Structure 1
């Protein structure tokens, strides 16, 4: 049965080839294909991925933060507040706002579950980023 259908299929193909004839590529077919490949390479180079925030900006921001913290820790910083009178500051101290906040007791299992969830969300974000980087990488 399968051989019969295969022979019918072969006969059909031979009949169609005789009717339509074989097409021959033009003389410059190879050159046309190579030129399209070269154009695609040029297109890929023009649209190179660049980060939204460049590295020098991150390095500058990190340096500013480190310098600020080092100045606050090791420098002589006068932390006096001149624009608020002292009696107002004393009134704020007597309010005891932190003591008025309700205490929230959280079980250890909830804390562990939240830490685990945060960890696995981070792993998922990393894996999705690498997946999309590989998927949309243009070489």
Structure 2
């Protein structure tokens, strides 16, 4: 039997109290234009990826995570010191964690698959690519 070794990269909050690893190759990367991502990032969208729960390894700071329910079906975790978002977990995807690529310390290999929550995109934010656009999360 052949062993498959998955290369990983590190991520962290701003103050490095919370650190984690994820696979270097991220296959489901999307630009998210939802109001929550815009509020949490202070920008017009965030870049997010679903990572399998088994592949997301918290390496430091579990006791520094604060969880809250941001919507009826979503739990968010952030650092209680610097408030940086670490991950979100959707009830509809219990085997995945959604991370923001801005929290990664190294360059991942990405496959960007589209824009989500375009229905909440502000008019002043312009999409200038040919990627698929979804009104909500798909």
Say yes or no: TM over 0.5.
Answer: no
Higher strand share: 2
Instruction: Give the TM-score normalised by structure 2.
Output: 0.14
Higher helix share: 1
